[in-house]
Amino acid sequence: MCGTRSTVRNSHGIMALLAALALANLLSAAAPAAAQTPDLSLTQATLQLWPEYDDPGLLVILAGTFSDTVTFPQAIALPLPGGAREIQATMQDTTGQLLMQPWQITAGKLTYTLPQPRFHVEYYLSRPPAGSQRELSYTFEAPYSIQTLEITVQRPARATAFSVTPQPEMSFAGNDGLTYYRITRTQIAAGEKLPIAIRYTKTDQGLSAPPAQPAASSPGGQGAAGAISRANIWLPWLLIGVGLTALASALVYWWLQLRQTSAEVGASSTVQAPGAARGARMADAGQQAPGPAPGRAFARGADGSSRPKTAFAPGAARPGVEVKVRARCSPPWGRSRG
């Protein structure tokens, strides 16, 4: 019996030792993993708010750069206000180009994998209906700790009595001719919220810029808000106008040529021969048109008739020839000599 109890005690001790070793291995494996995933933080971030720019609502542009302690690729999650639309999630490469990335919305946050430290996100928020007195409210929530946050608010074109809360430190004119107001904050903790209110007066519904077209379709499948150039829309109409003008010019030229040709043909078919004109004038004067003069040269026509060559000036009567009154409708060379 004693030997049996001793064997059981030894087996229990071995099992406890094995369990302790397994737990130690799990803890040692988890420690390096935790050390390799530091808290995400941003060295700098920019928030731009553009009301009524190329959309009747508010365009929100958030960009930032993660600290060099973060390894990439890295999954990030950014708070997203309710009602956000036309979302565009991108990364910014070393040349400044924005490259679209697949994204999804999870628990009210925009999530996607960032290959490099710099990100860029855009979306629109609808503006509540209002008259000429307009007010927009936006609350920024820091996704991670931020060393420096720069907020820029754009004043819409033709807006007056413009104000921003909190009070901006400065304002400046942009290259687009619009005025911008800047607010700077430092050492912002993750999850900290900053409410922003924009108020102004605007009597029209026009936008500061023409409506933009998507620069590229979002891999996330929910659209993009990037702007592209809208030039070349007028080019097809210009080409059509040039073509119609050329066609009209060609038709006018053809019509004028046709009229000129018809006029020449009509003139040649109605002009009387010199002898006929002379006979008509002499008939009007009560005289008979003379026949061919003796010894005068003749040309033979294709029908065998004779017609005089132009030996005398048209319309001139031959001296010494006695004529009688005889009206005729055809020229002298229209009959055969007897």
Q: Which of 1-10, 138-147, 194-203 has the lowest mean pLDDT?
A: 1-10
* pLDDT band at residue 237 under the 50/70/90 scheme: low
Look at the alpha carbons of 14, 15, 18, 23 in this order and tell me if their dihedral is positive or negative.
negative
Q: Where are the domains of the chain?
A: 41-201
Q: What are the strands of the beta sheet with 109-114, ordered from one edge?
A: 74-79, 109-114, 104-106
What mean pLDDT value characterizes the chain? 74
- The confidence score (pLDDT) of residue 130 equals 87
Q: Is the pLDDT confidence value at 338 over 60?
A: no
Q: Using omega within 30 degrees of 0 as the cis cutoff, is the peptide bond preceding 211 cis?
A: no
Look at the alpha carbons of 63, 64, 70, 71 in this order and tell me if their dihedral is positive or negative.
positive
Q: Is the pLDDT confidence value at 295 over 60?
A: no
Q: Is the pLDDT confidence value at 306 over 50?
A: no
- The confidence score (pLDDT) of residue 158 equals 97
Angle (CA) 170-172-175 rounded to 5° is 155
Please tell me the pTM assigned to this model. 0.55
Q: Is the pLDDT confidence value at 259 over 80?
A: no
Q: Is the pLDDT confidence value at 209 over 60?
A: yes
**pLDDT mean over 261-288:** 51
Q: Is the pLDDT confidence value at 69 over 70?
A: yes
- The confidence score (pLDDT) of residue 142 equals 98
pLDDT tens sequence across 310-336: 444 444 444 444 444 444 444 444 444
Q: Which residues pair with 26 in a beta bridge?
A: none
Percentage of the chain beyond pLDDT 90 is 49
Q: Which of 97-101, 127-131, 150-154, 203-207 has the lowest mean pLDDT?
A: 127-131
Q: Is the pLDDT confidence value at 159 over 50?
A: yes
Q: Is the pLDDT confidence value at 47 over 80?
A: yes
Between 49 and 329, the higher pLDDT residue: 49
- The confidence score (pLDDT) of residue 18 equals 55
* pLDDT band at residue 272 under the 50/70/90 scheme: very low
The CATH number of 41-201 is: 2.60.40.1730
* pLDDT band at residue 293 under the 50/70/90 scheme: very low
Q: Which residues contact 72 (CB under 8 A, 6 or more apart)?
A: 114, 115, 116, 117
SS (H, E, C) the chain: CHHHHHHHHHHHHHHHHHHHHHHHHHHHHHHHHHHCCCCCEEEEEEEEEEECCCCCCEEEEEEEEECCCCCCCEEEEEECCCCCEEEEEEEECCCCCEEECCCEEECCEEEEEECCCEEEEEEEECCCCCCCEEEEEEEEECCCEEEEEEEEEECCCCCEEEEEECCCCEEEECCCCCEEEEEEEEEECCCCEEEEEEEEECCCCCCCCCCCCCCCCCCCCCCCCCCCCCCCCHHHHHHHHHHHHHHHHHHHHHHHHHHHHHHHHHHHHHCCCHHHHHHHHHHHCCCECCCCCCCCCEEECCCCCEEECCCCCCCCCCCCCCCCCECCCCCHHHCCCC
Q: Which of 42-56, 106-120, 154-168, 259-273 has the lowest mean pLDDT?
A: 259-273
Between 25 and 241, the higher pLDDT residue: 241
Question: Which span out of 78-82, 246-250, 286-290 was modeled with the highest average pLDDT?
Answer: 78-82
* pLDDT band at residue 226 under the 50/70/90 scheme: very low
**pLDDT mean over 6-34:** 50
Q: Is the pLDDT confidence value at 235 over 70?
A: no
